[in-house]
Structure 1
């Protein structure tokens, strides 16, 4: 395609297709200026929807972080197809499942598309900027290192809760709606490294090299330690339950990965603790004996600290990442390695979409990068590579990642720069930046998606909620 085919005065034909049915527009091809960008395309869609447009904004579109965040810094009312006469909807646009972040002309040039072709462009409402919930708790006495949200698969909000792990050694349970502290349990003699939740079970690990299972009754102060998980002689750095809650994976500081059948009470692997160790001294709420549980599987999968573990959707594969720069997939039935991918930086955290069967992983790194990995095993080459599509935006160590359980494209990240960022992994730039814990040089240590919200925690001792 010659460059003369597209110039400032040229027009191209596009087909606009709504991702959401309620915003559907006529299917006819339309001619638009080849230099048109997102704001101009948004005007076109609003015109086709019959929405008023009283703004005189130009068609500029700068793709730096601040402008991109500000571009989303308004409240979109997407509850109906039509808007009031004094407002209009803002839209984002995708071509080949990637967000359009340049002019139509620029995209067609860079992808060698002829000006005579019809470009299919999908659109959807812009993401709403997260707003801080005003029901925050008082600051906790120490850093909050980990968060885990549980909600009943049937979306029964009465069975939802948020668990936090704190450097004071206590696990705390919050009502995710009101953010009130429902109960707490001082169960570790030193700082907690990780927490994970599944139904009525909460797992916690600490620098005291203890890995514990607690039982929680929703809506009550009933939180007791029931199992002490054995196998590792080092600090457990990362935890994850399988989707059905029957298995727990744990990765330790020395590269070991342990898998436990947490429903194995009464089996030979579970025994009554000695009478001298029935209850931990700090377990003031426990009224039953704590049992020991040996691992179902244990393997040294990495050379050094395992910073993230997560099960596949079918619980047949375990993914792990480590400070040894690698990401691995292991077959749980055979314990054989399926795939090992090597990066060039320490991996600090790991996340996988929960609502998708796609083998996509996200890892965080100390150089402020977030990498996306395609874990599908090619039957011909038996290899895969990572696709680093997210442009560095944080200014510090990535501490945690979390995918939206209802949308496999939405990702949130926390960093030592004190910020939380929200992403759509089809776009290289973050959708929004939240100044969550950066006051007085604070660090954001944990981030977790809830139901239509994001939770974050950090060195300021605060657990915060952000409505999305």
Structure 2
């Protein structure tokens, strides 16, 4: 079937937003695009302030004209197109830039005791806190080697917590083969180290926490270059659970002084051992995350990991068993996130692609159910010019996520529109004066945090803060 430019087609609109139209059919020119359809909806609704809408045709975002879509999908003008309209993602706008003396490897935009706070970790081993006005609140040195990532969880006031009620736990991972737990008091802007985590024999790629409110306890996962994954709680032990690392021989005087100071500190900071060790990967584990447990009880004990061995694995962290493995050909993975949905994962790889996987199992069993991950789970594949080094899910939309690349560009994606990003911006971009003086250039993106309409970007350019507003409707 061929649709010609002068043809018309019947369209029936629907929406899950708070702006529904009365059910009626519209006869529309097939050369209409998103802008024309959005104008029609606004006019039909009689809105005093225009609202930009995007349009889903059979779960695909309309990127060209109705004619283009019909011809690509072999749909004739005798058909009735059912089109859902959703809120458009408004163009991102920069809020501020916070310079750092070294690369920002981790970032979290969070609310600590009622105060919006940006927390960053860096290659210099420091963790820094800033308020919404970019004013420095506190900083401390967590490691004597580069920090690779951080995660945060507030004290729950239970006996499980190693912090006091007014404190928040900051967990960091490092190239020094350890992770650290530090208690931060947001009222006094003070911090104290409380535990160090010892398992890995190589640098730790990342550390992540169980963020689900349905999780029965506070847990951590660490992913190591040694192909191991560690599972941890945040209880403080009464005594050291692992022996102290052996001192290196032939150290210089300055390193000896630093080690003496560190050993004095270690007398107060207890060394923790993992609850269990997850073994299955054959190469460096680059990312590990807990499943999104909201609305799905079995996901409370589920986790996912990806590796340079070109696999994505699902785990039962309670039993320590690898449930399923999805193997890909020459696709070393760098980052992995769960979307704002119990079943969707996105993983980025060195081949400059991002794979969207649906983990819903098609089988039923009386045994403990497990998500099925295999090559057939691949739902979509997206590609970009720069290597996507880090990902962040939208906090409100189960179809949106952001990627940060080694080319310095942050892209916002909708998994229903796989041909191109729906928005993008260059992070850490230098001023025109700097570019003229030869000081400009691309800044690698190493960390992302997206919450409450704010996308915080960490990398070579320090901390870059952007407004990325979304509608309140979650489309599935």
> Which TM-score tier does this pair reach, normalised by the shorter chain?
0.7 to 0.9
Are 1:309 and 2:309 matched, yes or no?
no
Are 1:118 and 2:80 matched, yes or no?
yes
Question: Structure 1's 453 and 390: CA in aligned 2 closer, same or farther, altered over 3 A?
Answer: farther
> What per-residue deviation string (whole Å, max 9, x for no partner) do you get for residues 178-226 of structure 1?
2322111112111111111111111111111121111112243212110
Distance 1:419 1:458 in 2: 11
Which of 419, 422, 433 is residue 424 of structure 2 equivalent to?
Answer: 433
Are 1:324 and 2:309 matched, yes or no?
yes
TM-score, normalisation: structure 1: 0.81
Q: Which residue of 1 aligns with 2:57?
A: 95
Are 1:128 and 2:90 matched, yes or no?
yes
Distance 1:122 1:339 in 2: 35
Q: Which residue of 2 aligns with 1:389?
A: 380
Q: Which residue of 2 aligns with 1:402?
A: 392
Distance 2:382 2:179 in 1: 36
Question: Structure 1's 217 and 443: CA in aligned 2 closer, same or farther, altered over 3 A?
Answer: same
Are 1:35 and 2:26 matched, yes or no?
no
Question: Structure 1's 283 and 33: CA in aligned 2 closer, same or farther, altered over 3 A?
Answer: farther
Q: Which residue of 1 aligns with 2:404?
A: 414
Are 1:366 and 2:338 matched, yes or no?
no
Q: Which residue of 2 aligns with 1:10?
A: 7
Distance 2:450 2:262 in 1: 29
Are 1:298 and 2:277 matched, yes or no?
yes
Which of 181, 193, 207 is residue 136 of structure 2 equivalent to?
Answer: 181
Q: Which residue of 2 aligns with 1:147?
A: 107
Q: Which residue of 1 aligns with 2:228?
A: 256
Question: Structure 1's 328 and 269: CA in aligned 2 closer, same or farther, altered over 3 A?
Answer: farther
Distance 1:443 1:224 in 2: 31
TM-superposed deviation, 1:370: 1.6
Gaps of at least 5 residues in structure 1 are 51-80
> What per-residue deviation string (whole Å, max 9, x for no partner) do you get for residues 126-184 of structure 1?
211111113x33x22211112233347xxx743x5332111111111222x22322111
Distance 2:264 2:39 in 1: 60
> What per-residue deviation string (whole Å, max 9, x for no partner) do you get for residues 95-128 of structure 1?
2332112322332343344432321111123211
Which of 176, 182, 203 is residue 171 of structure 2 equivalent to?
Answer: 203
> What per-residue deviation string (whole Å, max 9, x for no partner) do you get for residues 64-83 of structure 1?
xxxxxxxxxxxxxxxxx422
TM-superposed deviation, 1:417: 0.4
Distance 1:13 1:285 in 2: 76
Q: Calculate the aligned-residue CA RMSD, in Å.
A: 2.9
2:355–2:382 contact (8 Å) kept in structure 1:
no
> What per-residue deviation string (whole Å, max 9, x for no partner) do you get for residues 336-369 of structure 1?
222111123110111112x422x21111122322
Which of 356, 359, 370 is residue 341 of structure 2 equivalent to?
Answer: 356
Give the stretch that moved more between structures: 317-326 or 111-120: 111-120
Q: Which residue of 1 aligns with 2:22?
A: 26
Q: Which residue of 2 aligns with 1:47?
A: 43
Distance 1:225 1:388 in 2: 43
Are 1:194 and 2:173 matched, yes or no?
no
Are 1:82 and 2:48 matched, yes or no?
yes
- Structure number having the greater strand percentage: 2
Q: Which residue of 1 aligns with 2:183?
A: 215
1:363–1:372 contact (8 Å) kept in structure 2:
yes
Distance 1:222 1:282 in 2: 20
TM-superposed deviation, 1:270: 5.2
> What per-residue deviation string (whole Å, max 9, x for no partner) do you get for residues 437-456 of structure 1?
25423212111113210000
TM-superposed deviation, 1:268: 7.9
Distance 2:13 2:117 in 1: 41
Which of 410, 413, 418 is residue 423 of structure 1 equivalent to?
Answer: 413
Question: Structure 1's 118 and 288: CA in aligned 2 closer, same or farther, altered over 3 A?
Answer: farther
Which of 196, 208, 211 is residue 228 of structure 1 equivalent to?
Answer: 196
Give the stretch that moved more between structures: 295-304 or 32-41: 32-41
Distance 1:24 1:346 in 2: 45
Distance 2:445 2:318 in 1: 37
1:257–1:301 contact (8 Å) kept in structure 2:
no
> What per-residue deviation string (whole Å, max 9, x for no partner) do you get for residues 372-395 of structure 1?
1112233289553353635423x3
2:358–2:379 contact (8 Å) kept in structure 1:
no
2:178–2:199 contact (8 Å) kept in structure 1:
no
TM-score, normalisation: structure 2: 0.80
